[in-house]
């Protein structure tokens, strides 16, 4: 999408205008008419007739003036991981049914192929670079959304909604000001880092530690969602349910694992069996969440979106082996801006308002959800809110595709640490996609320096440490030539057409470069803001003792062979990890 589109997303006509979608059944037509026509300034006789019919067919929902929002985000769940997206081996009956009752999107793009930046896009409705979140290392602050940004929580809190974020955050760990309950969410029930043990989890309920109690993490989050819904039967709410499944560590209830071990061939292996068990477990729990909406009388008063932050991991799990599995026709996986990394399942349901059984092929971007949801409130954006990069797509979901949406321009770029223009970058416009592969230098991970921030959080209670203020300069090896794909004729991105269409290459490259320059300026501002707030945060707090923190830390397993844990200095073993934070 272009910057010019961005500014106008909350126009009233976008959310209330409308023509009848063809192929809709009579009750749905009536309900859509209620939504549209109530706001019409002048109604024709035909309109009035339709309105009368609609009112006769179904009374208006007077108790809840605008709908609840339930946004469900899975973690590392790929396009091919649900039955309704063609997976022949997995059982996901609840989400398959949700798709039958709503819309199944076949060209839904996550803002980024990686956890933190993808979430930043979903949460702010802005390209992730602008927010500061471009990578995952919490110890470097690269996962953070700058405090100058407004989140979905801020928008809905100020609109009078009850707001909650449950599950994985991964958009700021070390400075408490960056946690969800300081970012517009009344309730944070989850974990702030990128990974968590599914049995020995350690959660936060706002500032209170919640120790594990024997339940499976996925069940814990669904239980909490049910509780939240039961407590908010009369007040509109935004519930951002960020499931950790099926992200590693790969752990699932044994009976389900056993079922998939028996179902899958030996060649597929245990890692996939466990992954599918994790997904089915989530699916079953979501069935309980949906049932609680029905029992509370909120089923037709709640917009539900289910999607994922990025594509599947297809590498090797250290214990369970290959994670390679079905992912539709797409190339690439998590971290890639090839379709397999960014095109993720997305089901949208609002029973009675969004026509059931739709398959939406128009490209949709993860930044669209905030403007789409918020337009339903009829409120103005919070003070200090910045222009959004997404647009309100509710008209599309109600059955009104538009040429403008079909031709929108989407941008993706993801490398390690500081953003590099032509590293793992892509622009899609209509049927064309221009793609720059990532090179080894810009994608290389400094594991010794980065891993402790993830690994520690998996098994340990939450902990604080200063931000690593050092950031390596952008690195890129030989700049790869861009490849051009006709994404409609060649969805698997196999045939490079760059030589046949140099004009398209030049045109799209120019648009990408202009976009990158724009978001890079915003990233630099956000980065400076994040460093400044961190410096202020730690000014009057004691620095943690690194030796104590690293004592008995299982990241020692990744130390070089021959390292004596009892005598080695962790600061030297994990060189650079603490950076200048220990001397400031």
- Of 79 and 516, nearer to Ca ion (C-beta) is 79
Residue number with CB closer to Ca ion (313 or 393): 313
Q: For 329, which DSSP code?
A: B
Q: Give me the residue label for tokens 């500014």.
A: 7
Contact residues for 450 (Cβ-Cβ < 8 A; gap 6+): 136, 137, 139, 140
Among 91, 270, 283, 309, binds Ca ion (CB under 5 A): 309
CB of 310 to Ca ion, least distance (A): 5
Q: Which stretch binds Ca ion (CB under 5 A): 17-25, 109-117, 323-331, 486-494?
A: 109-117
CB of 309 to Ca ion, least distance (A): 4
**CB of 115: closest distance to Ca ion in angstroms?**
4
Task: Determine, following the binding rule CB under 5 A, whether residue 116 of this chain makes contact with Ca ion.
Answer: no
The answer to whether the Cα torsion of 25, 31, 36, 37 is positive or negative is positive
8-state DSSP, 84:
G
Q: Which is nearer to Ca ion, 309 or 368 (CB)?
A: 309
Write the Ramachandran bin of 265: left for phi over 0, alpha for psi from -120 to 50, otherwise beta: beta
Q: Residue 450 Cβ, how far from Ca ion at the closest point, in Å? A: 16
Min CB(266)–Ca ion separation in Å = 28
Nearer to Ca ion, 75 or 154 (CB): 75
Looking at the Cβ atoms of 74 and 425, the one nearer to Ca ion is 74
Sole binder of Ca ion in the list 82, 115, 420, 555 (CB under 5 A): 115
Distance, in Å, from the CA atom of 8 to the CA atom of 197, rounded to the nearest integer, reads 42
Rounded-to-integer distance, Cα 568 and Cα 545, Å:
15
As beta bridge partners, residue 348 has 103, 305
Tell which one of 92, 281, 310, 526 touches Ca ion (CB under 5 A): 310
- SS3 state at 264: coil
Distance CA 97, CA 46 (A): 35
Structure tokens, 202: 């350690």
Tell me which residues in 60-89 interact with Ca ion (CB under 5 A). 75-76
Q: How far is the CB of 570 from Ca ion (least distance, A)?
A: 28
Q: Quick one: which segment of 259-267, 306-314, 470-478, 568-576 binds Ca ion (CB under 5 A)?
A: 306-314
Q: Report which residue's Cβ sits closest to Ca ion.
A: 115
How far, CA to CA in Å, does 175 sit from each of 128, 354, 386, 462?
20, 40, 23, 11
CA-CA distance, 409 to 427, in Å (whole number)? Answer: 7
Nearer to Ca ion, 350 or 454 (CB): 454
Task: Mark the segment that binds Ca ion (CB under 5 A) among 33-41, 114-122, 464-472, 553-561.
Answer: 114-122
- Beta strand extents in 48-119 (DSSP E only): 68-74, 103-105, 108-109
Report 244-303 residues binding Ca ion (CB under 5 A).
Answer: none
DSSP type of residue 419: -
What are the residues facing 436 on neighbouring strands? 425
Of 236, 259, 57, 73, nearest to 165 (Cα)?
73
Question: Taking the complex as a whole, how short is the minimal distance between the CB of residue 170 and Ca ion, in angstroms?
Answer: 8
The residues with which 202 forms a beta bridge, in sequence order, are 211
E strands, 110-158, where?
none
Adjacent-strand bridge partners of 208: 205
In the bound state with Ca ion, the residue whose beta carbon lies nearer, of 310 and 453, is 310
- Of 313 and 484, which has the nearer Cβ to Ca ion? 313
Torsion of CA 336, 401, 65, 30, to 10 degrees: -140
- Segment lying near Ca ion (by CB under 5 A), choices 9-17, 77-85, 115-123, 576-584: 115-123
**Rounded to whole angstroms, how far apart are CA atoms 328 and 460?**
37
Count of residues engaged in binding Ca ion, rule: CB under 5 A: 5
Whole-angstrom Cα distance, residue 305 to residue 347?
Answer: 6
Rounded Cα gap, residues 135 and 237, in angstroms: 30
Do 270 and 324 contact (CB within 8 A), yes or no?
no
Q: How far apart are CA 336 and CA 320, in angstroms?
A: 23
Least distance to Ca ion, CB of residue 169, Å: 12
Which stretch in 108-116, 125-133, 291-299, 374-382 sits in contact with Ca ion by CB under 5 A? 108-116
Which of these segments, 49-57, 107-115, 467-475, 574-582, binds Ca ion (CB under 5 A)? 107-115
Q: Which residues pair with 434 in a beta bridge?
A: 427, 484
Q: Which residue number, 51 or 242, has a Cβ lying nearer to Ca ion?
A: 242
Nearer to Ca ion, 15 or 244 (CB): 244
Environment class of 25 (CB within 10 Å of its CB; exposed 0-12, middle 13-18, buried 19+)? exposed
CB-wise, 171 or 292, nearer to Ca ion? Answer: 171
The CB-of-413 to Ca ion minimum distance in angstroms stands at: 17
| Number of other residues whose CB lies within 10 A of the CB of residue 63 | 10
User: x/- contact string, 442-461, with Ca ion (CB under 5 A)?
Assistant: --------------------
Nearer to Ca ion, 76 or 154 (CB): 76
Q: How far is the CB of 245 from Ca ion (least distance, A)?
A: 11
Minimum distance from residue 338 beta carbon to Ca ion (Å): 16
Least separation in angstroms between CB 155 and Ca ion = 23
Decide whether 261 or 325 has the Cβ nearer to Ca ion: 325
76 versus 336: smaller Cβ distance to Ca ion: 76
| C-alpha–C-alpha distance, residues 188 and 266, integer Å | 41
| Nearest distance, CB of residue 98 and Ca ion, angstroms | 21
- Helices and strands in the chain: count of H runs, count of E runs: 20, 18
- In angstroms, what is the minimal distance from the CB of 308 to Ca ion? 7
**Which residues of the shown chain bind Ca ion in the complex (CB under 5 A)?**
75-76, 115, 309-310
């Amino acid at each position: 999408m272009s910057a010019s589109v961005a500014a106008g997303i909350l126009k009233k006509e976008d959310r209330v205008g409308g023509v009848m979608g063809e192929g809709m059944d009579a009750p749905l037509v009536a309900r859509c008419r209620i939504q549209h026509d109530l706001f019409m300034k002048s109604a024709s006789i035909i309109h009035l007739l339709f309105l009368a019919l609609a009112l006769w067919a179904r009374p208006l929902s007077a108790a809840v003036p605008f709908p609840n929002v339930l946004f469900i985000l899975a973690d590392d769940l790929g396009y091919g991981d649900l039955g309704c997206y063609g997976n022949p081996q997995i059982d996901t009956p609840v989400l398959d049914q949700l798709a039958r009752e709503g819309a199944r999107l076949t060209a839904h793009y996550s803002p980024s192929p990686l956890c933190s930046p993808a979430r930043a896009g979903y949460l702010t409705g802005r390209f992730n670079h602008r927010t500061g979140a471009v990578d995952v290392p919490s110890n470097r602050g690269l996962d953070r959304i700058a405090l100058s940004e407004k989140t979905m929580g801020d928008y809905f809190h100020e609109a009078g909604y009850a707001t909650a974020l449950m599950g994985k955050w991964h958009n700021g760990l070390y400075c408490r000001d960056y946690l969800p309950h300081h970012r517009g969410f009344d309730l944070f029930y989850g974990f702030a880092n990128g990974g968590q043990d599914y049995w020995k989890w350690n959660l936060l309920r706002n500032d209170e530690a919640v120790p594990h109690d024997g339940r499976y993490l996925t069940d814990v989050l669904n239980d909490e969602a049910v509780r939240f819904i039961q407590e908010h039967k009369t007040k509109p709410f935004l519930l951002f349910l960020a499931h950790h499944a099926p992200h590693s560590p790969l752990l699932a209830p044994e009976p389900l694992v056993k079922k998939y071990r028996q179902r899958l061939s030996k060649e597929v292996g245990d890692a996939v069996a466990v992954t599918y068990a994790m997904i089915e477990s989530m699916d079953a729990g979501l069935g309980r969440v949906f049932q609680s909406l029905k029992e509370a009388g909120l089923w037709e008063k709640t917009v539900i979106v289910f999607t994922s932050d990025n594509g599947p991991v297809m590498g090797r799990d250290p214990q369970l082996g290959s994670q390679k599995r079905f992912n539709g026709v797409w190339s690439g996986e998590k971290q890639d801006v090839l379709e397999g990394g960014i095109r993720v399942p997305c089901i949208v349901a609002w029973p009675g308002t969004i026509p059931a059984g739709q398959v939406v092929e128009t490209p949709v971007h993860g930044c669209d959800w905030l403007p789409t949801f918020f337009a339903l409130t009829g409120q103005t954006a919070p003070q200090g809110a910045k222009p959004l990069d997404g647009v309100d797509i509710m008209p599309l979901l109600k059955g009104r595709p538009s040429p403008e949406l079909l031709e929108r321009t989407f941008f993706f770029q993801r490398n390690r640490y500081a953003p590099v223009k032509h590293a793992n970058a892509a622009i899609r416009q209509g049927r064309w996609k221009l793609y720059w592969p990532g090179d080894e230098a810009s994608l290389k991970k400094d594991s010794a320096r980065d891993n402790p921030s993830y690994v520690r959080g998996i098994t340990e209670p939450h902990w604080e440490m200063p931000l690593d203020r050092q950031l390596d300069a952008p690195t890129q090896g030989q700049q790869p030539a861009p490849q051009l794909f006709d994404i409609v004729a060649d969805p698997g991105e196999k045939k490079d057409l760059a030589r046949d269409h140099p004009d398209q290459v030049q045109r799209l490259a120019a648009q990408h470069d202009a976009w990158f320059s724009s978001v890079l300026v915003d990233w630099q501002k956000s980065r400076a803001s994040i460093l400044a707030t961190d410096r202020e945060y730690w000014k009057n707090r004691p620095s943690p003792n690194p030796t104590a923190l690293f004592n008995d830390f299982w990241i020692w397993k990744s130390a070089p062979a021959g390292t004596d844990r009892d005598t080695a200095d962790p600061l030297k073993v994990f060189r650079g990890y603490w950076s200048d934070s220990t001397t400031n």
